[in-house]
Amino acid sequence: MRRTLWIVGTLALVAVLVVGVLQAGSGDEPDGPAPAFDLDAALKRLDGAPPPVAQLHGEANTVVASSTSDFERRLKALKGYPVVVNAWASWCGPCKLEFPIFQQVSTRMGKRVAFLGLNTSDNLEEAKGYLAKKPVPYPSLEDGDGRILQKAGGVGGLPTTIFYDARGERTMVHQGGYKTEQDLVEAIRRYAGA
């Protein structure tokens, strides 16, 4: 009987310790909200990018009137560089969750990878207002009717990320948001060859 109580007590102690460790987490979580993204600092970090990519940085954080032919011209001008196109909208909850990931990864990889937004099925003023709060170091093309996204291979909801290799070939269309920077970086390496 005494041995059974000892075993039950030991198991209970182990269970309490396991639950405590799981609830404590890995310790990697930030202590507070992430610091605000500094667009000026990001653009300084991107100084020295090749001219076709640097041109995108020169249009940072804007929504540019566009058409499918404009989109195709931009892709052609970026031939020789991997391209990541992120379709988003200001009303899209999952888009908002992944925006900080795109802010960081586009700053980290933006000298060798071209990033381009695609503001799809959105109100232009609301999109501009959203970018005022959550800036990115690249432009977004206005795609009010979703035709550019459709032409690029997007078939479902937002967010959608489309990858092109340096030859200008579309290699992957990813439906849904990225949850971590590492997930996006791995996808860029795998599908865009960067």
- Give first-to-last CA distance, the chain, whole Å: 64
Q: Which of 8-22, 28-42, 103-117 has the highest mean pLDDT?
A: 103-117
Q: The domain 38-192 belongs to what CATH superfamily? A: Glutaredoxin (3.40.30.10)
User: CA–CA separation, 83 vs 154, rounded Å?
Assistant: 15
Residue 15 pLDDT grade (very low, low, confident, very high; cuts 50, 70, 90): very low
pLDDT one-digit tens code per residue, 157-181: 999 999 999 999 999 999 999 999 9
pLDDT one-digit tens code per residue, 116-137: 999 999 999 999 999 999 999 9
Q: What is the pLDDT of residue 57?
A: 98
pLDDT one-digit tens code per residue, 133-148: 999 999 999 999 999 9
Residue type, 142: E
Contact 134, 90 (CB under 8 A): no
**Phi, then psi, of 47 in degrees rounded to 5:** -55, 140
Q: Which two tokens stand for residue 119?
A: 């503001």
Q: Which two tokens stand for residue 130?
A: 């959203």
Q: What is the pLDDT of residue 10?
A: 40
**Residue 30 scores a pLDDT above 70:** no
Q: What is the pLDDT of residue 4?
A: 47
Q: What is the pLDDT of residue 194?
A: 83
**Residue 8 scores a pLDDT above 70:** no
Please state the pTM of the whole predicted model: 0.82
Contact 138, 59 (CB under 8 A): yes
Q: What is the pLDDT of residue 156?
A: 78
Largest CA-CA distance found in the chain, in angstroms, rounded: 81
Q: Which two tokens stand for residue 165?
A: 């290799």
User: CA–CA separation, 83 vs 80, rounded Å?
Assistant: 9
Q: What is the pLDDT of residue 26?
A: 35
Residue 34 pLDDT grade (very low, low, confident, very high; cuts 50, 70, 90): low
Residue 155 pLDDT grade (very low, low, confident, very high; cuts 50, 70, 90): confident
- pLDDT above 90 as % of the chain: 79
Q: What does the DSSP assignment read for the chain?
A: -HHHHHHHHHHHHHHHHHHHHHHH--S-S-SSSPPPP-HHHHHHHTTT--HHHHHHHHTTT-EE---HHHHHHHHHHTTTS-EEEEEE-TT-HHHHHHHHHHHHHHHHHTTTSEEEEEEES--HHHHHHHHHHS--SS-EEEETTSHHHHHHT--SSS-EEEEE-TTS-EEEEEES---SHHHHHHHIIIII--
User: CA–CA separation, 177 vs 194, rounded Å?
Assistant: 20
Q: What is the pLDDT of residue 126?
A: 97
Q: Which two tokens stand for residue 75?
A: 């892709």
- pLDDT above 70 as % of the chain: 82
